[in-house]
Amino acid sequence: MNKMKNLTGLFRKKRPNLGAKIMITKGGRTSLDESYNRLKDNVLHFGALGKKVLQVEASIAGEGKTTLVANLGVSLAFNDKKVVVIDLDFRNPEISKVFGVDEAIGVGDYVLEDAPLEPIIKSTAYGVDVITRGRVVYNSSFVLDSKKMAELIDVLKEKYDFILLDCPPVLMMSDYMHIAKYSDGILYTVSANFVKRSAVRDSLVLLSKLQVPIVGSVMTGVNPSDAFYGYSK
């Protein structure tokens, strides 16, 4: 249950957070599968331009970032792309749960404890590799700005086609600024009927000050039966 209260006036209404999960299947034909196929095609195009690091952002907590990162990663893996997902949401790391791997050890251990690279990269049943947060990180900017973090991204760029970064919400943490220096583009998530317009505007103003472009946006929480789909005469 999401215990966060609507203290800041950023939500339109509260709703339970049931957690992120993998929802797409190989060859699946649901509207969700089709949506991820379209998104994947756009990301493949982004890759074809020589870019590989995607920073997934949203204004506030619970808009579907982790769900998006995880399902996009799986979708790219269905296309035989080598993908690693890194959990940079140090406040609320969920990637280990979604992919069914141990939280220990991860980015925190690599940067703060000098852990070796090999054990922090975990393969999953979904064909996607993941790096969890691991050890609790209290000072996120120290970790994100470290030389070790920059080295980690450089090494991963050699090994993978895509590096997907799960991040904390823009209006709640300033981590997005530090993460942006590694990223080639931002994928921006907006949850329909959940986040307030003013919060979206505020976070877009902050993101637009970065050197990194917003390369796409994804609306979550849309009921497919409310949306126009298919062709009609």
Ligand X SMILES: Nc1ncnc2c1ncn2[C@@H]1O[C@H](COP(=O)(O)OP(=O)(O)OP(=O)(O)O)[C@@H](O)[C@H]1O
**Contacts to Mg ion by CB under 5 A:** 65-66, 94
Question: Residue 63 binds what, of ligand X, Mg ion, none (CB under 5 to 8 Å, by partner type)?
Answer: ligand X
Binding residues for ligand X restricted to 93-122, rule: CB under 6 A: 94
Residues 48-77 close enough to bind ligand X by CB under 6 A: 58, 61-67
Gap between the Cα atoms of 19 and 81, Å rounded: 26
**Minimum distance from residue 84 beta carbon to ligand X (Å):** 18
- Least separation in angstroms between residue 183's CB and Mg ion is 17
When CB distances to ligand X are compared, the closest residue is 64
Least CB distance to ligand X at residue 77 (A): 18
For residue 169, the partner it binds in ligand X, Mg ion, none, with Cβ less than 5 to 8 A by kind, is ligand X
- What would the DSSP string read from start to end of the chain? -----S-SS-BSS------------TT--SHHHHHHHHHHHHHHHHHHTT--EEEEEESSTTSSHHHHHHHHHHHHHHTT--EEEEE--TTS--HHHHHT--S-SSHHHHHHS---HHHH-EE-TTS-EEE---S--S-HHHHHTSHHHHHHHHHHHHH-SEEEEE---TTT-THHHHHHTT-SEEEEEEETTTB-HHHHHHHHHHHHTSSS-EEEEEEES--GGGS--S---
| Beta carbon of residue 4, minimum distance to ligand X (angstroms, whole number) | 8
**Between 136 and 150, CB nearer to ligand X:** 136
**Residue with CB nearest Mg ion?**
66
Work out what residue 150 binds among ligand X, Mg ion, none; the CB cut-off runs from 5 to 8 Å by kind. none
Residues in region 174-233 near ligand X by CB under 6 A: 220-221
Q: Which residues sit at the interface with ligand X, rule CB under 6 A? A: 17-20, 58, 61-67, 89, 92, 94, 169, 220-221
